[in-house]
Amino acid sequence: MGIGLSAACGFRVFVPLLAINIAALTGYLQLAPGFEWVGSYPATLAFGTATIVEILAYYIPWLDHVLDLVTSPAAIIAGTMITASMVMELSPFLKWTLAIIAGGGAAALFQGVTVALRTKSSALTGGLGNPLISTVEVVGSMVTSLLAIIVPILCLLLLALLCFWIIRKTGRFFLGRMKIR
């Protein structure tokens, strides 16, 4: 569940945080000791406001690239925190090692893909295609967050398929550009 939610942070940082907040408030999700604050009403207000601001800001063509500079490290931190908040019965060393590598890594991977996609969109459309990319990212973050909470195994399977597809597409792109003379 934590890895799927961490991957969702790569699409939008605050959507998965709001999702686990709501899941914890409704009793659907239990958070690890020390992370109970994520399921509090003040956190709902903070994550809800941040989610709305983040979603709206990505629809401003020049601001979306500036946000990528800020949200890239924030996504990794949020992904690490989310995975750590899901791990209950491990030593602190193993818990944080897992959180950094798996959670932070998943967030970094998907954040990197979205940044590259937005950069390519800007180059090809002059920024006019970026709102479409932003919409896909928001929907991707919402769907991934919901699947990670409701059906974590299916979420991980779909994320693995998405990674396979991305690697295959980028491999074809780069191999197609290289010509042996």
**pLDDT digits over 114-138, tens only?**
888 888 888 888 888 889 989 999 9
What number is the average pLDDT over the span 8-24?
A: 95
Those residues with Cβ within 8 angstroms of residue 125's Cβ, 6 or more apart along the chain or in another chain: none
What's the pTM value of the predicted model, to 2 decimals? 0.85
Reference 3, options 89, 114, 94, 110; nearest CA is 110
* pLDDT for position 123: 87
Tokens, residue 78: 């949020």
Q: Give percent of the chain with pLDDT exceeding 90.
A: 55
Grade residue 176 by pLDDT with cuts at 50, 70 and 90: low
d(CA 10, CA 73): 10
d(CA 126, CA 121): 7
